[in-house]
Amino acid sequence: SSALSIRQLTKTYSNGFQALKGIDLDVAEGDFFALLGPNGAGKSTTIGILSSLVNKSGGTVSVFGHDLDRDPAGLKRCLGVVPQEFNFNQFEKIFDILVTQAGYYGILPKVARERAEYYLHQLGLWDKRDEASRMLSGGMKRRLMIARALIHHPRLLILDEPTAGVDIELRRSMWNFLIELNRQGITIILTTHYLEEAEQLCRNIGIIDHGRIVENTSMRELLKQL
């Protein structure tokens, strides 16, 4: 079955700039998919539309059959997004950030606390649970964003340049964490402008450039062509 289906997606920003010029994209359930492209290609715009932070101009988007226009709440329930920029309440304790997030999905407080504990352990942040998020290093903030995106157990996780600016050691441990999540059955899409990251992690790849998908193939096929 299909985890993500995008048809003829367009975005023209209010200054007239056409950031997406008719994107078609399909990602199957269980896939680990890379959306690769240079800066300015339209990756963040696409993710912004999926997370309802950017209004699309045209086209359709659906996640596990939930259409963004007709069933935005259904779409939201099965999607977790890790944005590029940190957008936490800087003064809230990190344990509370996760519990608050769970509350947005109607998760009971007891379950929310159990899940927060689980993901903080998984991501090596348990010792920091009582600190305000502004006290965390960049790498820790990134891991906290991953924990927050997983708290409602989404079936599809989308990460926007998850390891940009992260040192090599942490990058490897984040990669291993994502590989394990995918093994557990979560479909993962990440954007990157870094072919090695896509090569290490992903089975299938879409290449985006100037608001168009210019290639959509398996990682194996792509590497043969290079």
CA dist 202 and 211 (Å) reads: 21
Q: For residue 43, with 0-12 CB atoms within 10 Å meaning exposed, 13-18 middle and 19 or more buried, which class applies?
A: buried
Q: How far is the CB of 46 from ligand ADP (least distance, A)?
A: 7
3-state secondary structure of 13: coil
Q: Which is nearer to ligand ADP, 15 or 225 (CB)?
A: 15
Q: Does 87 bind ligand ADP (CB under 6 A)?
A: no
Alpha helices in the chain (DSSP H): 43-50, 72-77, 94-104, 109-122, 138-150, 168-183, 195-201, 219-225
Q: Does 17 bind ligand ADP (CB under 6 A)?
A: yes
Q: How far is the CB of 191 from ligand ADP (least distance, A)?
A: 7
Q: Which is nearer to ligand ADP, 39 or 225 (CB)?
A: 39
Q: How far is the CB of 44 from ligand ADP (least distance, A)?
A: 3
Q: How far is the CB of 80 from ligand ADP (least distance, A)?
A: 18
Structure tokens at 100: 């608050």
Q: Does 39 bind ligand ADP (CB under 6 A)?
A: yes
Of residues 3, 19, 36, 219, which one binds ligand ADP by CB under 6 A? Answer: 19
Structure tokens at 169: 């050691």
Radius of gyration of the chain (CA): 17
Q: Does 192 bind ligand ADP (CB under 6 A)?
A: no
CA dist 126 and 117 (Å) reads: 7
Of residues 7, 24, 29, 54, which one binds ligand ADP by CB under 6 A? Answer: 54
Which residue type occupies 174? M
Q: Does 4 bind ligand ADP (CB under 6 A)?
A: no
Query: Which residue do the tokens 């490897």 mark?
Result: 172
- Could you tell me which residues are beta bridge partners of residue 208? 213
Q: Does 13 bind ligand ADP (CB under 6 A)?
A: yes
Q: How far is the CB of 205 from ligand ADP (least distance, A)?
A: 15
Piece of 11-19, 21-29, 64-72, 162-170 that binds ligand ADP (CB under 6 A): 11-19
Q: Does 6 bind ligand ADP (CB under 6 A)?
A: no
3-state secondary structure of 59: strand
Q: Which is nearer to ligand ADP, 31 or 161 (CB)?
A: 161
Q: Which is nearer to ligand ADP, 40 or 65 (CB)?
A: 40
- Taking phi first (over 0 means left), then psi (-120 to 50 degrees means alpha), and beta for anything else, what does residue 132 get? beta
Which residues of this chain interact with ligand ADP, rule CB under 6 A?
13-15, 17, 19, 37, 39-45, 54-55
